[in-house]
Structure 1
Amino acid sequence: MDPKLTERVKLTQNKLRKRTISAILQEFDQKMMKLERSKREEKYAKMSETPFSFFRGSAYLFYFDVSREWFPYHTPGNRPTWIQGDLHFENFGAFRNERGTLVYDVNDFDEGYLGSYLYDLLRMSVSAILVARSKGLSHNSQIQTVESYLQAYSKQMRRFVKAKDDPGTYSVDIEQAEGLIKKLLKKLQKRKEQHFLEKVTALVQEHRQFATNEEIVSPTEEERHALLEAWPEYLSTVAASGEEQLRHFQVKDVAVKHGSGTASIGLDRFYVLIEAGEGEQGEDDIVLEAKEVRVPIPAYYMPYDENFWSMFEHQGKRVTMTQKAMHHEADPYLGWFSIGERQFYVRERSPYKKRLKLEAIETTGDLLAITATMGRLTAKLHARADADVAQGILAYHSEVEIVKAMGDDEEAFCTFIAQWAMAYADSVEQDYGLFVEWLVGRKKPSVT
């Protein structure tokens, strides 16, 4: 083909794709999220760091693409799974559950919704490949990385169906963990109960309050008043009543939290210090996190479910119930409230919360062990969030429907998704380049 014609074809392809990226960014971030320009610039700066950062911050582009593709392993439309909705490598982490046990699990449920289980697997598979590429791993090692995840998912899901494991009690603690995850949990064992409390608060005339810095700032009087006015609504969602319980949830101080995540930029987030006990110098105080949440991204691409929306019209309730459905132990502080038209959910800010740093991953073996654990945990999420759970809304067992959809040929299932994920990771890297070009173009002064 004529080199000039070849170049024109490439330019046209890139131009059309860049228009798609631009249109989706503007539709979601500007029109729907109503992010101020400064917030959009902050978000896009984070997204421009690496292809993985771009992937993390553009879930709407991912769903735009995959919801238009045909896949052979979807569950039937009338048998959806309660999915996490934004499953990627950095949404797993270590924390202490409500029984006091250190575990490794998923720690973000903001995008929880009903849809095919496959969307969680596809998004997670692509993220695993992007992480593998960031570590400079070979093509074969990248394939191994995602197949390790998928095989572990498939095998664990089949164990749930055969009742060899119970999704209601399945967990990855220090005993079950291996490799870097085990090392992470052991390190957290040495952390003091007051670690996070001492990190974000200070004693002022024997009264504990938040210590302000670049990320934690004092609220305006309007913000403080709005949160305190909404607090009784939160207390009703955690069934807090009576003098002792109300004293436990007494608000001692409030702060505004900045600088978290990529997709969350533009959403308000508060830290709330509550009394919790009567220890000296507030050493048993607890920090709660109240985070603004909106309609989940998958909802714009998945079939509308009237039953789901009638139960979870409040987005804070949706996130709260998603976490309760997917975790083996429910945070007793989970609840929700509204400030005007904005909706929030509340959870405890665990003093033991810690993510596995990508820099700690040094070998292919490290990564394979990690993705295998993530695969088993993903199976647990999907298998738990059905009729087995008191809060569930599905009248069937998700694990049964998923195993039917995967079929008997596990190797074919894993190979298909792994090969697709490799191809889509290539597209993400190309989109990342187009996104950076688009970002630069937006900053250039217009010629008059």
Structure 2
Amino acid sequence: MDTLLERLKAFNQDALPEMVPLKYEAMAENPFRFFRGTCHLFYEDLAAAEPLPLSPLAWICGDLHIENFGSYKGDNKLVYFDMNDFDEAVLAPASYEVARMTTSIFIAFDTLGFDHKKALKMAGLFLKTYSATLAKGKAISIEPRTAKGIVCNFLQSAAKNSYKQLLKKRTVSKKKSIMLSLEDERHFKLNKQLRDELKLHINEWIKNSSDGPYNYKTIGTVFRLAGTGSIGLKRYLFLLKSTNTKNKYLLLDMKQARSSSVLPYLPVQQLQWPTEADRVIGVQQRMQNVTAALLSTTVFRGDAYIIQELQPAKDTIRFKLLENYRDMYQVIDDMAALTASAQLRSGGMQGSATIDELMAFGTDTAWQEKVIDYAQNYARTLKQYHRQYVKDYHAGKYVINSTENQNNS
């Protein structure tokens, strides 16, 4: 097998060369950040390991971990807490999703300094609630009226965030107008040709797409840096201004969609989606109870992109900010119920198991111990990977010497 260095470099070789160093820097931060940036390693190793217990096929987000849940405003104007990243979404054994999520619990809790017994208890809680929710056969959703504890507080706080606050963070005022800020470390200037092409493209999308916002025009765009695993993809942020309402603005995110990193290791036939972006939002729409507003796709310069509104209500619960174990218990319990609910909601759709089959899987809990064992062992492997990675990173082995395009095109 190739070395860790070779595996990571091979996976990132097609990413934007000027952005990959930022991804490598983020991955060196701690084992959990490394885990977030190496979804491909997880599935490559899973395929080479002793198989997990048999499980029904389900639609999965593919990169499930404790920070891939968060708040967002649905197209019905309510704020929800749910899975929020579907870039790696595929049809796969249901156990793949819970194995990755359970592994993330062990890695995150260790990174945060919690003892192993607490992590083990939380992993057990996740699988217990996940199974119980499947066994009931009824999907749930979480919004402010149904949320409990820390999640309720989180959603209530997210609902209060205003567009004015979001614009203040992302823009600067100049001569009675506003523009996207280049002071933000996540924003990068684009060359004029690309900037003009992007503005024209989004204006055409607004005019011709039924998903687009009415009566808006693009007044600015920058390259946007966000996430960990997606660093190195082409991603742009647009500032739109209403053409019929004074001082009304909208922020749009446009992110390149690439093939799922789970796909090479799946013995399961997949749907033939029109584009990778259609795959992402297609699975998202069937797994979430209510999808986010202004969710759409487009193709620019031959690449497929996901378009979505940048919302003031969109946020992720950051576990390092949770003050006590009880708060974590409630959050993990909710995440487990939502994971099962997403699989139930999409049950019986184009190859996924029926709700009856998912209920039977939830009732038979004999598989849980093997998933826990795998997750614990892989968490230890991941820590070893991270130690080797940090050593190689500081030795300069991940330095990219490239004079390729520096304009994020």
State the TM-score, normalized to the length of structure 1: 0.81
Deviation at 1:128, TM superposition (A): 0.8
Matched residue type, 2:224: K
CA deviations 1:313-338 (Å, max 9, x no partner) are 41111112122112222334111122
Deviation at 1:301, TM superposition (A): 1.1
Matched, 1:371 2:332: yes
Matched, 1:256 2:256: no
Counterpart of 1:324 (choices 274, 285, 288) is 285
User: C-alpha distance in 2, partners of 1:219/1:28?
Assistant: 25
Which residue pairs with 2:94 in the alignment? Answer: 117
- In 2 relative to 1, CA 335–444 (structure 1 residues): closer, same or farther, beyond 3 Å? closer
CA deviations 1:396-425 (Å, max 9, x no partner) are 52x43333345x442x33333223211211
Aligned partner of residue 280 in structure 1, secondary structure: coil
User: C-alpha distance in 1, partners of 2:344/2:245?
Assistant: 40
Counterpart of 2:10 (choices 22, 27, 33) is 27
Matched residue type, 1:211: S
Which residue pairs with 1:280 in the alignment? Answer: 246
With 87-96 and 193-202 compared, the bigger mean Cα shift is at 193-202
RMSD: 2.6
Which residue pairs with 1:66 in the alignment? Answer: 46
**Equivalent residues in 2 for 1:144-293 (5 A)?**
144-160=121-137, 165=138, 167=139, 170-213=140-183, 214-231=185-202, 234-235=205-206, 238-239=209-210, 247-258=214-225, 260-276=226-242, 278-282=244-248, 285-293=249-257
- Is the CA contact 1:247–1:275 (under 8 Å) kept in the aligned structure 2? no
Which residue pairs with 1:103 in the alignment? Answer: 80
- Is the CA contact 1:154–1:379 (under 8 Å) kept in the aligned structure 2? yes
Matched, 1:393 2:359: no
**Equivalent residues in 2 for 1:344-383 (5 A)?**
344-383=305-344
User: C-alpha distance in 1, partners of 2:342/2:155?
Assistant: 20
User: C-alpha distance in 1, partners of 2:296/2:230?
Assistant: 19
Matched, 1:43 2:23: yes
User: C-alpha distance in 2, partners of 1:381/1:227?
Assistant: 34
Aligned partner of residue 274 in structure 1, secondary structure: strand
Which residue pairs with 2:70 in the alignment? Answer: 93
Which residue pairs with 1:402 in the alignment? Answer: 358
- In 2 relative to 1, CA 246–96 (structure 1 residues): closer, same or farther, beyond 3 Å? closer
Counterpart of 2:113 (choices 127, 130, 136) is 136
Deviation at 1:35, TM superposition (A): 4.2
Counterpart of 1:303 (choices 244, 267, 288) is 267
- Is the CA contact 2:165–2:312 (under 8 Å) kept in the aligned structure 1? yes
- Is the CA contact 1:132–1:145 (under 8 Å) kept in the aligned structure 2? no
Aligned partner of residue 48 in structure 2, secondary structure: coil
- Is the CA contact 2:58–2:352 (under 8 Å) kept in the aligned structure 1? no
Counterpart of 1:440 (choices 388, 394, 400) is 394
Give the structure with the larger helix fraction: 1
Aligned partner of residue 3 in structure 2, secondary structure: helix
User: C-alpha distance in 2, partners of 1:75/1:47?
Assistant: 32
CA deviations 1:19-54 (Å, max 9, x no partner) are 432232122112xx2442x43332122111111111
- Is the CA contact 2:257–2:305 (under 8 Å) kept in the aligned structure 1? yes
* Matched-pair identity in %: 24
Aligned partner of residue 209 in structure 1, secondary structure: strand
Larger Rg: 1
Which residue pairs with 2:405 in the alignment? Answer: none
User: C-alpha distance in 2, partners of 1:23/1:215?
Assistant: 28
Deviation at 1:117, TM superposition (A): 1.4
Matched residue type, 2:150: L
CA deviations 1:180-230 (Å, max 9, x no partner) are 222212222432343212321344444443232232244322222332343
- Is the CA contact 2:92–2:268 (under 8 Å) kept in the aligned structure 1? no
Consecutive unaligned residues in structure 2, runs of 5 or more: 400-409
Which residue pairs with 1:4 in the alignment? Answer: none
Count of residues paired in the alignment: 398
User: C-alpha distance in 2, partners of 1:295/1:216?
Assistant: 25
- Is the CA contact 2:52–2:95 (under 8 Å) kept in the aligned structure 1? no
User: C-alpha distance in 2, partners of 1:287/1:324?
Assistant: 21
CA deviations 1:277-335 (Å, max 9, x no partner) are 733322xx2211101121110111113525x12xx141111112122112222334111
Consecutive unaligned residues in structure 1, runs of 5 or more: 1-15
CA deviations 1:54-92 (Å, max 9, x no partner) are 11111111001112233453335xxx3211010011111
- Is the CA contact 1:233–1:336 (under 8 Å) kept in the aligned structure 2? no
User: C-alpha distance in 2, partners of 1:102/1:330?
Assistant: 10
- In 2 relative to 1, CA 246–26 (structure 1 residues): closer, same or farther, beyond 3 Å? closer
Which residue pairs with 1:126 in the alignment? Answer: 103
